[in-house]
Amino acid sequence: MKEKELKQMTIPAQRLMARCAGEEKRVGTRTVFVGNHPVSETEAYPAQRFCDNRIVSSKYTLWNFLPKNLFEQFRRIANFYFLIIFLVQVTVDTPTSPVTSGLPLFFVITVTAIKQGYEDWLRHRADNEVNKSTVYIIENAKRVRKESEKIKVGDVVEVQADETFPCDLILLSSGTSDGTCYVTTASLDGESNCKTHYAVHDTIALCTAESIDTLRATIECEQPQPDLYKFVGRINIYSNSLEAVARSLGPENLLLKGATLKNTKKIYGVAVYTGMETKMALNYQGKSQKRSAVEKSINAFLIVYLFILLTKAAVCTTLKYVWQSNPYNDEPWYNQKTQKERETLKVLKMFTDFLSFMVLFNFIIPVSMYVTVEMQKFLGSFFISWDKDFYDEEINEGALVNTSDLNEELGQVDYVFTDKTGTLTENSMEFIECSIDGCKYNGVTEEVDGLSQTDGPLTHFDKAVKDREELFLRALCLCHTVEMKTNDTVDGATESAEFTYVSSSPDEIALVKGAKKFGFTFLGTRNGHMRVENQRKEIEEYELLHTLHFDSVRRRMSVIVKTQIGEIYLFCKGADSAVFPRVPVDEIEPTKRHVEHSAMDGYRTLCVAFKKITPDDYEKINRQLVEVKLALQDREEKMEKVFDDIETNMNLIGATAVEDKLQDQAAETIDALHAAGLKVWVLTGDKMETAKSTCYACRLFQTGTELLELTTKSIEECERKEDRLHELLIEYRKKLLREFPKSTIRSHKKAWTDQEYGLIIDGSTLSLILNSSQDSSSNNYKSIFLQICMKCTAVLCCRMAPLQKAQIVRMVKNLKGSPITLSIGDGANDVSMILESHVGIGIKGKEGRQAARNSDYSVPKFKHLKKLLLAHGHLYYVRIAHLVQYFFYKNLCFILPQFLYQFFCGFSQQPLYDAAYLTMYNICFTSLPILAYSLLEQHINIDTLTSEPRLYMNISGNAMLQLGPFLYWTFLAAFEGTVFFFGTYFLFQTSSLEDNGKVYGNWTFGTIVFTVLVFTVTLKLALDTRFWTWINHFVIWGSLAFYVFFSFFWGGIIWPFLKQQRMYFVFAQMLSSVSTWLAIVFLIFISLFPEILLIVLKNVRRRSARNPNLELPMLLSYKHIDSGYS
């Protein structure tokens, strides 16, 4: 065990408690009394003030649901606007009933409230399942059954095999003799492999309720924070002499709520974080909302239409008073004013008239659009989850949608940022070769006396000394965090029927398997001793003294072990850049050649070093490690410094090469993304040679691509790096400006037919660019660098730290034109860039599920990105863009005749339509067809979209929601609204439309206009539909049939609750006239004629195009480019 070698630190209890109190105030720690027992009977027991163990993920309660939900809904501009209109209708004498705006608003609010209430009810139910679950607490040496929500901080909890941990626990003891337990954290980070956790050595023996109750200890730890992989604390164990033994606690001792106990009979743990302070709860609180470009366009359109509404109201109010300037028009003989009306202040009257016109025209703002958009996004997201092409048999999973708010953004991507390992490659490692003391060995050749030399250009090297070979293989068997499980079902690579290797890193398993291939087999760790079987089938035991864990800053890991004869060794493995500076210079060159050669072949390389430690030196090292592991403040920084001091003056043994195979169809996917006009950047922590080789293999770089390098190697030629960097930046910019004199982010997409350029930059050079000194020669490094990047077809960023990945994404996001960025990765180091980009895609990979958990969408493989963007993204964008434009179009068609009618009724605010029609137009008559269209439309076949990637460029730059298409839809609505009104108006020039000489009135006039309106806007959508299903037929023709049925029904009965029966028999009487039938059909045809004509012309053009078989959309707002496809 790691804790076994730690020396006891004896501190008087009083001094310890005094120091704890001061430290708690200083750094924000908490002190937990194990079992809620005071450390001694003579000392006072301080009252504990921590939250209970209830989990509350719900948003509402029964009492606050109504006010809280209403408050949130009315924060939306459109909802608040309609609320104001409704209040105006209630308080002011307006031409339309409050029902006309109140009922649609009530419908929208109710539907949204039901949806949110149901979702919250599900959360309540899930919370209750967790909070009411049964747990066992150790109280007074007995197992006491309680509900999970009643656990308090300090309680000792018993957890059985296959149960989940009810709160965050510090492991005290387990059912195994060495105090270990195995845990899966799939519900937290998606990782299905087992992780090993440890109890401190002093509490391992406390395996019963009676013995655990005798423990007197306190735990000092940091206050709750959400990082799943960090924990800092220490446990102070008190004996009868009131002297405390302090032991350090880290993430390996912490069992997280939500994780599951596996392959261990039971454990005892003490609760340190409960309820909403557990790491699981903190991780699910608040995730930053991303807004799509379509949402921003909707808000812009709303502002335009609100301006149109205000203009209409202002024009009508002004013209009303111009009209009434004539006394006869102001007060005709048949409509005398009351005394109150004559005494009303004129300014107040003008204001109320303005509000009345606002109410009359308010339907130009489509309040129901928000509900339709939400339903479209929510229901549409299921098509990604249901897509069988995204299903991966290996992991038995498909795609997952974590947020449906960004579906359309998948069709607007300009830049793709991808990780390499596990994303472009399989992250399935195979040991290929190694180098020992400058001698190269192949991992697949026949074994001769341990290792064998490979054939090829390196055959002139002699074999390394036998002792060095064995030392190298022992290093591979000892320097790792691999665990071995015997005869169980833990996930991992099965070595034989007897045991399985388990590790969070595939590299480590590959290296251990590589050593086994050459006769050195790792047999696992028992009681703090690592066991290795050598080539002579002898078992060697090494006491594991310390593990210096890997981190992305140091880029290496080490172990300190003691042999059976008492010798102490440090074995270290890590990246060449992390190991070479710590070994003698004369040892580097032979191994460096092999490392570079392996990297150019695309292999992942690690260097292996060691040093022998004297007992005196170890005493000093041990003292330093014990001290920093017990620190509560800045423990990680202190440990990093100590690790740095320990890992010096080592001797290089050799290097390993592990192959990470390219993912299936990775190259074809990148080709398709390039053809679609997307720029692909690879951001990786690997060395340049390995990454470059992978980029060529996956065709990010073509054979004809000219590479521009901004790396440490290319700028070290000059004494002043910044000067050399500036020279290179200027040189590359001039070269690219000559090639592409004028181009923007998106226009340059179609210029990639001539010479292509690729850029390679490493982390240190990027730091130099971003953090360059602000003098006259270097203050424009960043802008020059961005100019170069914009003109390169592909960029490779190697040796990148996770933070630098996010910086790159943020830098591109802020470019002029605000390009849409997408990040895709599979590991925890990719989370920062996934969260930073507009759209984050997580790969369900072998490095865990942190990336998938923090992403907007997750897919099993990189190849699935092709269909996700080119097909789903394209269709989602076209559907929702059409939905938005159509909503504004049909509402302008609806209100424009009402506006024109005011010129013929003396601006008297007389409604053109009946109140029932006003209310039901958006709710019933025209809502379902556009919803079905926005879910099912495929204007281009999915196979065509994936096989012809250039079609993706047709919708780039939010093409369908730009000013041009918006004006087209607006003018189309204005034309059709004018036809509706004046066509009916000219029809009414004949005073009698019936054989019996009866004259039609204003409600018949309005009903004819409304009938033409409903049929025209619905048939317009039918003309736009390219992919017909039975659902489209049902909702389109069903909506029209419902309108006709409702009109007959509404006008065919005398409704007792109506004061005025103005629509009684109007619809039936109207349709009894042949001239009315002809007029309706004729006006519908005239309204749709421009649309039909354009479709015919586009069909003729398509048939005469170079590629007549390519089925292109007939959407008038669709952007066309010179690509040979339109």
In Å, what is the CA distance from 628 to each residue of 126, 559, 781, 1116? 41, 17, 41, 68
What Rg value do the Cα atoms of the chain yield, rounded?
37
Contact 89, 98 (CB under 8 A): yes
In Å, what is the CA distance from 454 to each residue of 408, 443, 592, 776? 53, 9, 18, 55
The tokens of 366 are what? Answer: 């489509």
The tokens of 370 are what? Answer: 């928000």
Q: What is the DSSP string of 857-870?
A: EEESSTTHHHHIII
Gap between the Cα atoms of 979 and 960, Å rounded: 26
Judging by DSSP bridges, how do beta strands 706-710 and 757-762 pair with one another? parallel
Strand order in the sheet with 539-548: 439-442, 425-436, 651-662, 603-613, 568-574, 556-562, 539-548, 529-533, 521-526
Q: Cα 816–669–431 angle (5° rounding)?
A: 115
Total length of the chain: 1126
End-to-end CA distance of the chain: 69
Gap between the Cα atoms of 463 and 469, Å rounded: 9
Q: Cα 205–207–210 angle (5° rounding)?
A: 110
In 3-state terms, what secondary structure has residue 1082?
Answer: helix
Choose, from 419, 437, 576, 1024, the residue flagged as catalytic. 419
In 3-state terms, what secondary structure has residue 467?
Answer: helix
Q: What is the DSSP string of 929-959?
A: HHHHHHHH--SS-HHHHHH-GGGGGGGTTTG
The tokens of 513 are what? Answer: 């398997």
Burial (CB count within 10 angstroms: exposed 0-12, middle 13-18, buried 19+), residue 1095: middle
In 3-state terms, what secondary structure has residue 514?
Answer: helix
Residue 1017: name the closest of 908, 906, 933, 912 by CA.
Answer: 933
Residue 1070: name the closest of 1017, 993, 984, 987 by CA.
Answer: 993
Q: Is 419 a catalytic residue?
A: yes
The answer for residues whose C-beta is within 8 angstroms of residue 1091's C-beta and 6 or more apart is 972, 1020, 1023, 1116
Residue 828: name the closest of 861, 852, 811, 860 by CA.
Answer: 852
How many Å separate Cα 293 from the centre of its chain? 16
* Dihedral over Cα of 996, 1000, 1001, 1003: its sign: positive
Beta strands in 790-944 (DSSP E): 794-798, 821-825, 839-843, 857-859
The answer for residues whose C-beta is within 8 angstroms of residue 493's C-beta and 6 or more apart is 500, 501, 509, 513
Residue 784: name the closest of 798, 800, 772 by CA.
Answer: 772
Q: Cα 700–1119–857 angle (5° rounding)?
A: 50
> What single-letter DSSP state applies at residue 335?
S
Contact 572, 610 (CB under 8 A): yes
Gap between the Cα atoms of 586 and 1024, Å rounded: 74
The answer for residues whose C-beta is within 8 angstroms of residue 936's C-beta and 6 or more apart is 1027, 1029, 1031, 1032
Report, as residue numbers or ranges, the catalytic residues. Answer: 419
